[in-house]
Amino acid sequence: MKALKIIRITAWGAVAIVAGVLLAFSGILPGVERPGAVTSSTGTGAAAIGGPFELTTHRGETLTNEDLEGKPYLVFFGFTHCPDVCPTTLFELTGLLADLGPDADNITPLFITVDPDRDSQELLASYMTSFDPRILALRGTEEQTDEAVNAFAAYYEKVPLEGSNYTMDHTAGVYLFDAEGEFAGTLDLHEAREAQLQKLQRLAETAA
Ligand code: NI
């Protein structure tokens, strides 16, 4: 009886170890999940993010990566026809920047459209009146857009809908960069608001 019990426990122990190993290698453990496409494209990690780009703001000013030198910033990709994720992100950011107070002035928030065909400067200017005026919407030619997307190791894809309509599949993460231009993680809009504010606060404090 006692021996049988020991065998049973040993057997279950072996099952648990095998299951654990399988789980670890299958990549479904939460810790294994990657934040967006940030580290995927080159495998060299944070150093690969934040390459050169040149875009135009919704106010008609040119903005390049060099303009961001010495300034903490955050960047995310989207498009104005986006039904939920993009407007939600912009809305949440607007609230976070307000709660952050004057320190928010140290952060440059960038919203880069992956749909420059439909997102004209005029449309972006009108769209952005609904959100914090510190958030800059950026657009470029298709070539400039690709350059920016590659600079941040992001991705987008045009997805045809019924008729001649289409939507854009795109990276949804908000990437943070400190004043040295170093990748400082992502902002997860699903995590506790206090945690999000702390991340932005830390980011703002990297400003000289
Ligand atoms: Ni979107």
Find the 82 Cα to ligand 1 centroid distance in Å.
4
The per-residue pLDDT for 51 is: 80
pLDDT lower than 70: segments of the chain:
1-48
Find the 118 Cα to ligand 1 centroid distance in Å.
14
The per-residue pLDDT for 46 is: 47
Find the 89 Cα to ligand 1 centroid distance in Å.
9
Find the 201 Cα to ligand 1 centroid distance in Å.
25
Find the 127 Cα to ligand 1 centroid distance in Å.
14
Find the 193 Cα to ligand 1 centroid distance in Å.
21
The per-residue pLDDT for 31 is: 32
| Torsion sign (Cα): 171, 97, 119, 79 | positive
Compute the distance between CA of residue 108 and CA of residue 113 in angstroms, rounded to an integer: 16
Find the 170 Cα to ligand 1 centroid distance in Å.
7
Compute the distance between CA of residue 133 and CA of residue 186 in angstroms, rounded to an integer: 22
CA atoms within 13 A of residue 205's CA, in its CB half-sphere: 6
- Beta-strand (E) ranges in 50-188? 54-57, 62-64, 73-78, 108-113, 136-139, 156-160, 166-170, 174-177, 183-187
Token pair 């949440």: residue: 92
Find the 114 Cα to ligand 1 centroid distance in Å.
9
Find the 72 Cα to ligand 1 centroid distance in Å.
23
The per-residue pLDDT for 13 is: 57
The per-residue pLDDT for 10 is: 60
The per-residue pLDDT for 49 is: 77
Find the 24 Cα to ligand 1 centroid distance in Å.
32
Find the 98 Cα to ligand 1 centroid distance in Å.
22
Find the 206 Cα to ligand 1 centroid distance in Å.
29
Under 8 Å between Cβ of 40 and 34 = yes
The per-residue pLDDT for 8 is: 63
Find the 110 Cα to ligand 1 centroid distance in Å.
14
Compute the distance between CA of residue 23 and CA of residue 54 in angstroms, rounded to an integer: 43
Under 8 Å between Cβ of 106 and 76 = no
